[in-house]
Amino acid sequence: MRALSQPGILAPVPPVGRYLSFALRLPAARRPALARLLAGLSPWVRTGTLVLGLGQDVLAACAVKGQPPVPMMRTFPALAGPAAQVPSTPVSLWCWLRGDDAGDLIREGRAIAALLEPAFVLRDAVDAFRHGRGPQGFALDLSGYEDGIENPVRAAARQAALMQGQGPGLDGSSCASVQQWLHDFPALQAMAPAARDAMVGRRQADSEEIDDAPESAHVKRTAQESFSPPAFVLRRSMPWSAGLEAGLVFVAFGASPDAFEALMRRMLGLEDGITDALFRMSRPLTGCHVWCPPMADGDLDLRRLQA
């Protein structure tokens, strides 16, 4: 039985998305039934409508004799640098609903919440969307800059995003690192175009990198190949909006949390005191790691929760 990734992880970003975050409320004595309940989500995952992630408390609830079912997983760390910080806001269960019609996703989300209701309570819902196309063909962040240009592709994407060589029930799974960023549009609009380009490290007009960009430029701070080992992740981020507030739901899939945390530590200036200039126009409101189980024969492979 060959383990595969959830289809929505490697698929392109859809036209619309909906993120649901749940808290675990099942009494401890009944938690062994979690895997059977979660298996009911397989039809949504199989079609690519849903990417499912499980938080650290769910994994801990399924530990056997103190042995964690997914050893490389951990709680998202709260970090603070010289001029910026990122919060830790763990969730028990994370759903990324994907599709072409926002109304359909609302309906699917209600059905999923009803199925999970015996064990989980919905805490948050965020609607997202794909925005435009930039000069190099990638979707745009609401800042106007292309997002995901440096994503690995094909075999490199699978290597960056998926666990391999870890054994049955782990191979094909992924760690998703998720943050909801809030953009400061007045601050962005107050910058001259050249200052905005220097902040990102790319020209908005053609998305080409700026060779002499400052060391604080986002592109330089997050050059994935410049880490040791390289810190490649597969980004699947989408803009969000609610009322007059808007920003980016940043989602990075990795074989472990290590690469994402290395990127975030450098952005905060914890290595050299240089803070990523992107913090001048955006800040994260949330932060969590979740484990996205693999698939086997078209169903969620939850054997790690049943050991």
pLDDT band at 64 (very low <50, low <70, confident <90, very high): confident
65 has pLDDT over 90: no
pLDDT average, residue stretch 29-57: 91
pLDDT at 30: 63
Contacts of 207 (CB under 8 A, 6+ apart): 134, 135, 136, 138, 145, 146, 149
In this prediction, residue 264 carries a pLDDT of: 98
Q: What is the mean pLDDT of the chain?
A: 95
Could you tell me the two tokens for 208? 């080409």
Give the per-residue pLDDT at 15. 98
145 vs 65: which has the higher pLDDT: 145
Identify whether the C-beta of residue 176 lies closer than 8 Å to the C-beta of residue 251.
yes
pLDDT digits (tens, 9 = 90+) for 74-91: 999 999 999 999 999 999
186 band by pLDDT with thresholds 50, 70 and 90: very high
Mean pLDDT of 50-60: 95
End-to-end CA distance of the chain: 17
Q: pLDDT at residue 139 above 70?
A: yes
Q: Is the dihedral of CA 248, 159, 9, 122 positive or negative?
A: negative
Q: What is the mean pLDDT of residues 205-234?
A: 96
Mean pLDDT within 82-110: 98
Average pLDDT over residues 240-245: 96
Q: pTM value?
A: 0.96
* Distance (Å) of CA 78 to CA 24, 71, 86, 179, 182: 21, 20, 6, 12, 17
pLDDT band at 2 (very low <50, low <70, confident <90, very high): low
CA 234, 173, 90, 76: dihedral to nearest 10 degrees?
A: -60
Pairing of strands 93-99, 50-54: antiparallel
Percentage of residues of the chain with pLDDT beyond 70: 97
- Say if residue 4's pLDDT is above 70: yes
**Measured over all CA atoms, what is the biggest interatomic distance in the chain, rounded to whole angstroms?**
60
Q: Where are the alpha helices (DSSP H) in the chain?
A: 7-10, 34-39, 42-46, 56-61, 102-116, 154-161, 185-190, 193-200, 218-221, 258-267
For 132, residues 6+ apart whose C-beta sits below 8 A from its C-beta are: 139, 140
In which residue are the tokens 């979690």 written?
34
Residue 307: its pLDDT value, please?
56
Is the bond preceding 14 in cis, omega lying within 30 degrees of 0? no
Among 56-65, 66-75, 248-257, top mean pLDDT goes to 248-257
- 22-34 pLDDT, tens digit per residue, is 999 977 656 778 8
Average pLDDT over residues 122-128: 98
For the cut 50, the answer to whether the pLDDT of residue 1 exceeds it is no
pLDDT at 28: 60
